[in-house]
Structure 1
């Protein structure tokens, strides 16, 4: 099993994103760099990114470059959203996920996040949230 937000979990998602033909297809018409920061987890603060554009999609440790959007949240919020206990939109509205950057670009790239959901679902089957 992979612990949520561990380096093994990030590496598993990196491989899944790289193998996703759907994300590759979407990346020919969409461009976005998203950095996600999760604080106070079992391994401390974790930063990872999604980079999509120019017919490539990548996921990995560290910040996006270029970074269009940055999101920050605490461990409890990240786990609640990842496990479906909390709706991400409600977390944004309630201030539990803080957002910086180009919000319109985030909205314009909803197809990317829809495709990413399928990738996350494959890794979620092998993930623990402790």
Structure 2
């Protein structure tokens, strides 16, 4: 069963969010939208990346990063336009998010399936560096169970 909009899953007492829940997506969306670094890289790069994470607590979750023309957005659903699609299972996504597994190693090992414009993805590495910085403040409030 595919679920483009994961259920809400926040521990109100601690302010912690479940990885890939609506609150988590919203929190990262806010960080991306308010990041001067993301805005800067979005003036020099344009890419739409769709992530598909399967077999998680919420079922399958689809979310995107869209960057270009000085704007960056992150949220539920596929990128439009979509230049690259990455598909992985829940455990791989958790391991990469926790930095227990390097994304390139996961790709080489076949744990992340990549389709689309791989050169555009390589040319957009500064985008992912800026995203990682925005992700850091959300990471510390995230539960990966």
TM > 0.5 between the two? Answer: yes
Residue 74 (structure 2) pairs with residue 68 (structure 1): no
4+ residue runs of structure 1 moved beyond 6 angstroms?
A: none
Shift of residue 86 of structure 1? 1.0
| Structure 2 Cα separation of the partners of residues 76 and 26 of structure 1 | 30
- Secondary structure of the residue that 1:115 maps to in structure 2? helix
Q: Which position in structure 2 is the counterpart of 1:123?
A: 138
| Structure 2 Cα separation of the partners of residues 27 and 83 of structure 1 | 25
Matched residues, number: 130
Q: Which position in structure 2 is the counterpart of 1:55?
A: 70
Q: CA RMSD in A?
A: 0.5
Tell me which of 31, 40, 43 is aligned to 2:58: 43
**Structure 2 gaps, min length 5:** 1-15
**Structure 1 gaps, min length 5:** none
Shift of residue 97 of structure 1? 0.2
The alignment's TM-score, normalised by the length of structure 2, stands at: 0.89
Q: Which position in structure 1 is the counterpart of 2:102?
A: 87
Q: Which has the larger radius of gyration?
A: 2
